[in-house]
Amino acid sequence: MNLALAAAFMAATPPKAFGADPRPITTASLIDEMTDVAGMAEFPSPGYTCKQFSSYDQKSKSPQDQTTEGWFANADAGQFLRVEERAGRKEHVMMDTAGPGAIVRIWSANPAGTVRIYLDGAAQPAVEAPMTDLLGANSAASPSPSVASTARAGTSTSRFPTPGAARSRATRAASITT
């Protein structure tokens, strides 16, 4: 599964230099920010960081290694941070990050299995859905079109923001085929 959980994870905690308390981050505030055309031309205040998690082939490290086992390694399927056992099933961890923020984008070339998003250390997922539903291959489960999932040319993307206050972790449960 070629998955870039471009979980562009926006940390809501501003750098110390900003000094101001950040406003509460909610799904509604994130949708407002994502659709504020005038605001897109301004630097965010408070500032945030972007973290990206990807299933790219970790063997691809140096352009000096011009082999299929080096720079051109292309086993982009089935690359996860780790595998966890939860409720009698294996969950492949796609992203795990501490601190306040939001998952603002999930992309997959071949969505399959069940995605679970755990927020703030909760034992139960805040989001649990078949990846095809979550990423728009089955549009009936997709949220509002303004920030919804799209399925084009065999890839699927969700831009529906999912905020967390202390920690966010996304997993996928299914057999992994490469």
Alpha carbons 138 and 130: distance in angstroms, whole number: 9
Residues 74-91 pLDDT 10s: 777 778 889 999 888 999
Q: Of 135, 141, 142, which Cα lies nearest the Cα of 172?
A: 135
Residues 124-139 pLDDT 10s: 999 898 888 887 655 4
- CA angle (123 as vertex; 120, 128 as ends), nearest 5: 90
Band of the pLDDT at 2, cuts 50, 70, 90?
A: very low
- Percent of the chain at pLDDT > 70 equals 74
Q: Of 112, 101, 109, which Cα lies nearest the Cα of 163?
A: 101
**pLDDT beyond 50 at 178:** no
pTM exceeds cut of 0.75: no
Q: Of 142, 172, 135, which Cα lies nearest the Cα of 156?
A: 135
The two most distant CA atoms of the chain are separated, in Å, by 50
Cβ burial, residue 43 (10 Å; 0-12/13-18/19+)? exposed
Return the bridge partners of 156, or none: 108, 151
